[in-house]
Amino acid sequence: MELVVQFQVLNQSCQCLAWKPGPVAAGGAESQHVVAGYSDGTLRVFSVSRTEMELKMHPHAAAVTATAYSTDGEMILSGDKDGLVAVSSPRTGMTIRILADHKGFPITVLQCTRKQYRDFGVEGDELWLATSSDRRVSVWASDWLKDKCELLDWLSFPAPASPEGFGSLPPSLAMFCPWKPGTLVYVGFGVKKEALFYSLHKKQVVEKISLPYFATSLSLSPAARFMAVGFGERLLRLLHCPDGAAQDYAGHDDTVHLCRFAPSGHHLLTASHSAVLVWELTGS
């Protein structure tokens, strides 16, 4: 439990980051890289093993709010406060595509997952989604080597007029479901407090799980059928799917604004204003 590496960028705030996927090289962390998005619209790629910045790119004019690596690690997707999504190559530093479909609303989530090449009747070996703060989710199929990127689905989740007392609305969050291929999970401000499972094959919501409050963070375990949901009421809920069995945990000092399962599924990391908590999942 000690700090082993630290990267510092002066006069800029880091808004988001993502680890490059792929196996760790033999004998250490030679292949460990992280990309970080900053308030000036830049992306920086850091090598953890060499403790140095390898690349700086500037694909955005506004603050970067979300970033993700493609599943093969060959492309970096980034979204900004104005709703633009950029696709950039960490090999060349060039931005190869700009998507303006969410323009006008900050990008809250970018996520990539693998698919079979002809799944959904479109080419490409990757699915990725972009979520913006206006409760819209776009789902894309891509083959970056062939410069193909095709819109597969466009979701817009309804909500009532913003009620009084909501200084800022809960975030719109969507993620691919690891244990249900072709399905994504969405939480956000809406008519009801719930998590929605949407099937890309059936083009409809196929399952709903009620929540006690509107969610502020979300994570799905890659190793078991568990979903972690954080709330502004300093509460963390662990849900077992599909039966919806819930366990609630207190202990945070403020809004649970981040939760992430470890790749093994045995640990869960959560964060609030001034605390980072690590949970061990026994029996998972």
pLDDT at 23: 64
Give domain status of residue 166, yes or no.
Answer: yes
The per-residue pLDDT of the chain, averaged, comes to: 91
CATH of the domain at 277: 2.130.10.10
* Burial (Cβ within 10 Å: 0-12, 13-18, ≥19) of residue 184: buried
Where does the pLDDT of residue 76 fall: very low under 50, low under 70, confident under 90, or very high at 90 and above? Answer: very high
In DSSP terms, 79 is beta-bridged to 66, 85
Average pLDDT, integer, range 92-99:
96
pLDDT at 118: 79
Give domain status of residue 150, yes or no.
Answer: no
More confident site: 216 or 243: 216
Dist. CA 231–CA 234, nearest whole Å: 6
Beta strand pairing call for 85-88 and 76-80: antiparallel
Total structural domains within the chain: 1
Give domain status of residue 112, yes or no.
Answer: no
Average pLDDT, integer, range 13-34:
76
pLDDT at 209: 95
Where does the pLDDT of residue 31 fall: very low under 50, low under 70, confident under 90, or very high at 90 and above? Answer: low
More confident site: 8 or 244: 8
Average pLDDT, integer, range 115-119:
81
Instruction: Provide the whole-model pTM.
Output: 0.92
> Which domain covers residue 209, as residue numbers?
157-283
Structure tokens at 143: 């083959």
Give domain status of residue 256, yes or no.
Answer: yes
Average pLDDT, integer, range 259-268:
92
Give domain status of residue 199, yes or no.
Answer: yes
pLDDT at 114 over 60: yes
Dist. CA 283–CA 9, nearest whole Å: 41
Where does the pLDDT of residue 156 fall: very low under 50, low under 70, confident under 90, or very high at 90 and above? Answer: very high
Dist. CA 72–CA 27, nearest whole Å: 21
Dist. CA 47–CA 67, nearest whole Å: 17
Residue 236 CB contacts under 8 Å (≥ 6 apart), including other chains: 228, 229, 230, 248, 249, 250, 251, 252, 256, 259, 270
Dist. CA 110–CA 69, nearest whole Å: 9
Among 18-32, 62-76, 176-190, 254-268, name the one with the lowest average pLDDT: 18-32
Give domain status of residue 222, yes or no.
Answer: yes
Give the CA count within 13 Å in the CB-facing half-sphere of 198. Answer: 23
**Cβ of 168: how many Cβ atoms within 10 Å?**
9
* Cβ 193 vs Cβ 186: under 8 Å: no
Give domain status of residue 194, yes or no.
Answer: yes
Question: How does DSSP classify residue 162?
Answer: P
Among 105-109, 116-120, 185-189, 221-225, name the one with the lowest average pLDDT: 116-120
Give domain status of residue 178, yes or no.
Answer: yes
pLDDT at 157: 95
Single out the residue of 66, 109, 85 nearest to residue 219, CA to CA.
109
